[in-house]
Structure 1
Amino acid sequence: MEQEVGLIGFGEAGSTFAVAGEWGARAHVFDRKTGNGPDREAMLASYKAAHVLGARFLDDALASVDLILSLVTADQALAVAEAAAECLPAGAIYCDMNSVAPQTKQAAAGVIQAAGGHYVDVAVMAPVNPARLSVPLLLSGGQAEEAAARLATLGFAKTRVVGDAVGRASSIKMIRSVMVKGIEALTVECILAAEAAGVREEVLASLDASEKVKPWEERADYNLDRMLVHGLRRAAEMEEVVKTLEGLGTGAVMTRGTVERQGAIGTLGVGTPPEGLSGKIAAVFAGLQ
């Protein structure tokens, strides 16, 4: 028998998955835009185009399914879990695929499990387009293995269970974003200043010349080593970078954070850093206590 699914939220992710998997009438969909607001007609048209079964009320969408996917905006993830807990079938697997903190997912797990459901933390690790059902998914929670099997029947091709603790999958996603989104923000801060100073081509060429491809384990080890040894000096240098950017009027939000972090690590007084990334991390934790 084909897997039926309750789908909460029919924005980019929900509609992309439903269409790519040709779920059709197997998908029982609720989106709050099907109320009486200005978006109602457009949402109903989206349901029709995807051939899914649209529901005006949440309990109608969840009444007969044993697998539920929550794909709403981050600020609504917990509220939706609380609403779903009031009407989900006993024993249903609730896959929370929203991009929220592990603490938020643990709170949502509490209400779902108290209502007799099984909560699974799912982290969507790349944009849903163009990957669609090949988007990498990390799963954690007591029913993660079962959820992975159910998701496979819907066409998801890249699922991986990373543990049985709710919050583990989302921790990986959230902490990874420190680097991914941080690099984006640093890039903008650097390039705007370079453009304003009239030196963009030279800055980019210098970055190309100094960039060496390394595994992130090696990069992290090297970067932390430099901060432990030279953090105070680098913090002072970055203070001058802040002056440069502020003088150009392009902003220095990220760079001011760099000054603070370099200085904090540099003041630990570790001496010669230990060998290996794990040793350096342990030295930092010890110094911060």
Structure 2
Amino acid sequence: MSDKKQFRLGLVGYGEIGSTLGKGLREAGLQEIFCYDKYAFNGPYADLIQERAKAAGVTLVKSNKELADAAELIFSVTPGSASLESADAFAPFITDRHTFLDFASATPKIKKSVADKLASSGALLGDGSIEGTPLHGYSMRMLSSGPAGERVRDWLVPWGMQIEFTGPVLGTASGIKIIRSVLIKGIEALTDEMLLAARQYGIDEVVLASASKTLARPFMDTVHSLTPSGVIHAKRRAEELEMSADAVADAGVEPIMARAIAARLRWKESLGLKDHFKGVVPANYKIAIDAIVEKMQSKARAAE
């Protein structure tokens, strides 16, 4: 790991993430930070962006070209939906003196497309993802990967950031984040649906207390408990979730999540896994998942 070194950092986007990074790194002593945000001078939050940048000592620039001219390391924190558009806009101005990483929440396919758009520039390219929250300040947990992954780690960790390099294959860091979001964002949506229904029954605090007892154990204990047994008990669990969906609907809440869960469990039941394992719960989650994959592939071949 290298020691602290001064370099010119360019941020793409000065929203919650960008402004947190800009403020934190400037306070840590990084002297030159520039930012291009297309809404900084003409948008509904232009005043807020300008105020934050001025207070942090971050220099706002007015074009992609200005940012490329000013910065050595470009750290993009736009929404994932803007990744390809942003890469197109930077392509004419990025050169072999640049390091460019897209930290937006997007799929590995999108991150590879970003790299393809910038490949002819000769820049060192990579991707990243943000696992932490701005509530933890600029040291929120991040992942990096690809050819530029180690460089961004080595340049920014000495300044107090928390970046883990996850390997040389571009898209790895983004894949970890975006697939993990199925669970993390799913928990949010499930909790909303559960609480909305529980409130109508007047049992929200009791339901939360009951769920808290189950979820207090280490997460891997939950995986080792539910995934192996799930291949045996998918039918029973689907029936329970269909009842749950009815109860949610009876409370006047559309059971979007409950019905989706029931559908996934019915799909798992349709694979015939209980017969596959002869009614015996497999020893661990890997065996269960391997069997599901095998059944999926078998169905796909049969459909060809």
Between 1:53-62 and 1:202-211, the stretch displaced more is: 202-211
SS in 1 for 2:147: coil
For residues 11-34 of structure 1, give each alpha carbon's deviation from its aligned partner in whole angstroms, at most 9, with x where no partner exists. 121122111111675112211113
Aligned to 1:276: 284
For residues 10-67 of structure 1, give each alpha carbon's deviation from its aligned partner in whole angstroms, at most 9, with x where no partner exists. 1121122111111675112211113444544443333322222221122011114221
Post-superposition shift, 1:83?
0.9
1:17 aligned onto 2:21: yes
Query: Structure 1 residues 39 and 244, CA, compared in 2 at 3 Å: closer, same or farther?
Result: closer
Between 1:60-69 and 1:159-168, the stretch displaced more is: 60-69
Aligned to 1:187: 191
- Of 64, 68, 71, the residue aligned with 1:65 is 71
Aligned to 1:101: 107
| Pairing of 1:1-289 with structure 2 (within 5 A) | 2-22=6-26, 26-37=32-43, 39-129=45-135, 131-153=136-158, 155-216=159-220, 218-270=221-273, 271=277, 272-289=280-297
Under a length normalisation based on structure 1, what TM-score does the superposition of the two structures give? 0.91
Under a length normalisation based on structure 2, what TM-score does the superposition of the two structures give? 0.87
C-alpha distance in structure 2 between counterparts of 1:215 and 1:36, whole Å: 45
Question: Does the aligned pair in 2 maintain the 1:135–1:158 contact within 8 Å?
Answer: yes
SS in 2 for 1:29: strand
Question: Aligned Cα RMSD in Å?
Answer: 2.0
Question: Does the aligned pair in 2 maintain the 1:64–1:89 contact within 8 Å?
Answer: no
Post-superposition shift, 1:193?
1.1
Query: Structure 1 residues 236 and 94, CA, compared in 2 at 3 Å: closer, same or farther?
Result: same
What amino acid is the match of 2:262? Answer: V
C-alpha distance in structure 2 between counterparts of 1:30 and 1:201, whole Å: 46
Post-superposition shift, 1:278?
1.4
For residues 227-277 of structure 1, give each alpha carbon's deviation from its aligned partner in whole angstroms, at most 9, with x where no partner exists. 211111221222122111111111211100111111111222222343222
For residues 147-187 of structure 1, give each alpha carbon's deviation from its aligned partner in whole angstroms, at most 9, with x where no partner exists. 2112235x243211111111110111111111111111111
Question: Does the aligned pair in 1 maintain the 2:6–2:30 contact within 8 Å?
Answer: no
For residues 92-150 of structure 1, give each alpha carbon's deviation from its aligned partner in whole angstroms, at most 9, with x where no partner exists. 11021111121111111111222222221111111122x22321111110221122112
What amino acid is the match of 1:157? Answer: M
Query: Structure 1 residues 61 and 25, CA, compared in 2 at 3 Å: closer, same or farther?
Result: farther
SS in 1 for 2:71: coil
C-alpha distance in structure 1 between counterparts of 2:114 and 2:69, whole Å: 20
| Number of residue pairs aligned between Structure 1 and Structure 2 | 286
Identical positions, percent? 28
What amino acid is the match of 1:286? Answer: E
What amino acid is the match of 2:142? Answer: L
C-alpha distance in structure 2 between counterparts of 1:274 and 1:19, whole Å: 50
C-alpha distance in structure 2 between counterparts of 1:42 and 1:175, whole Å: 32
Between 1:40-49 and 1:164-173, the stretch displaced more is: 40-49
What amino acid is the match of 1:159? Answer: I
Question: Does the aligned pair in 2 maintain the 1:33–1:40 contact within 8 Å?
Answer: yes
